[in-house]
Structure 1
Amino acid sequence: MNKYRVFWLVFFGGLLLFAGAMVWYTRQALKPYPADQAAQAALQTDAQVQVRAAPYGWVFLPTGPVKGGLAFYPGGLVEPQAYAPVMRRIAQGGYRVALLQVRFNLAVTEQGKARQAMAEAPQLPWAVGGHSLGGVVASNFADSNPSVKALVMWAAYPQNDLSGRALPTLALFAEKDGVIRQEQLEASQNKFPKNTERQTIPGLNHAGFGAYGPQRGDNPATIPAETGWDEVAARTLAFLDRALGQP
């Protein structure tokens, strides 16, 4: 065989092998934490909450009067459905909840997604929120959108400096969180809005805000999953009642 032909066969063979390896690596790197059965069950409509698919993800609608809205960004590489158990509980408390679906399960790819949800019910006072990376994106959205009345951050801290804003903010953390970087959290304390309410849930871990099983690097929770969801929802609802109920 001609030596030049051999060279090109080897060259293109190696190129194809490299491309295949990169595709495999990318798929593995972007593989999300899947929502578990409890999350799938929470996506079903019942007598208390109507759940329907929307262009931006899912919307949870209470059957009674609606006090306000919450547009929620999922954590990085977590299927958004995993947050359905807590979203349902918040909706039961009288809020229209928009659970946002983002490309590659990374909220940074669609930071403006909350606008679509808010545009469906512009008459409501709206809060934006998110878990982990989703909380960072929610803070960025709130920073650039004056129509946002409140901010909810679960296991997250702001990327931008919001210390000059009088934006009602809930910073909710988990005692057993092994994922959030403490040094970065401490360095970001001065970036939170000046009237931020900081709370920590005993026994909860990073993954306990959702229903997607163990997360790499996290600590084990010392409370049952249902107890964690109840606590997250109750604290978030109490905050929304205070923040969105203000004139």
Structure 2
Amino acid sequence: GKTGVLFYGGALVDPRAFSPLARVLSGRYGLAVSVPVFDSDLAFSFGSCDTGRLPLAMEAFPDVERWVLAGHSFGGIAFQTDLWTMMVNEDADMLASVGGIAFLGSYIRQDLGCGATDFSSTNIPATSVSGELDGVVNRTNWEG
């Protein structure tokens, strides 16, 4: 089945900034790519534990069977809360649609007010990418 990427942008980053990456993923690899737009360009807001973006992407791309949730900076935090909410709610259909997760300059955080996030019981493939000159990412948290 077809794979898609739901890419959550970083805080205060115009979603169009991710267009070059989306074009490569789509053109070179044939992936459907959705970069949602958020109010004030904030993919995550404390106290809100579900952005509701995966169901919207699934509706927009009905031929996509598996989704990779990916996020840059705060976008990684946003998709992690969406994924955690699916797990807590035992939403098997939504969880089955997640084929992987990718953190770009981001990491799993435990202080979001959504409950302790623990993905150790999942078999969802995950990757994390960070640049060695990234002066924003908390290296201790990223390496932990």
Aligned 8 A contact 1:142 1:151 in 2: no
Q: Is residue 71 from structure 1 mapped to residue 6 from structure 2 by the alignment? A: yes
Q: Which has the higher helix share?
A: 1
| Structure 2 unaligned spans of 5+ | 87-93, 110-116
How many residues align? The count is: 122
Match of 1:138 in 2: 79
- Select 1:121's aligned residue among 39, 46, 61: 61
- Distance in structure 1 (CA, Å) of the matches to 2:98 and 2:22: 19
Aligned 8 A contact 2:105 2:130 in 1: yes
Match of 2:16 in 1: 81
Q: How does 1:40-189 map to 2 (within 5 A)?
A: 67-92=2-27, 93-109=29-45, 111-124=51-64, 125-143=66-84, 144=86, 145-146=94-95, 147-159=97-109, 160-186=117-143, 189=144
Aligned 8 A contact 2:7 2:34 in 1: yes
The Cα of 1:164 is off from its aligned counterpart by 2.1
% identity of equivalent residues: 30
Aligned 8 A contact 1:129 1:139 in 2: no
The Cα of 1:136 is off from its aligned counterpart by 1.3
The Cα of 1:121 is off from its aligned counterpart by 2.5
The Cα of 1:172 is off from its aligned counterpart by 1.2
Superposition misfits of 4+ residues, deviation over 4 angstroms: none
RMSD between superposed Cα atoms in Å: 1.8
SS in 2 for 1:151: strand
| Structure 1 unaligned spans of 5+ | 1-65, 190-247
TM-score (norm 2): 0.76
Which of the two has higher C-alpha Rg? 1
SS in 2 for 1:174: coil
The Cα of 1:141 is off from its aligned counterpart by 1.8
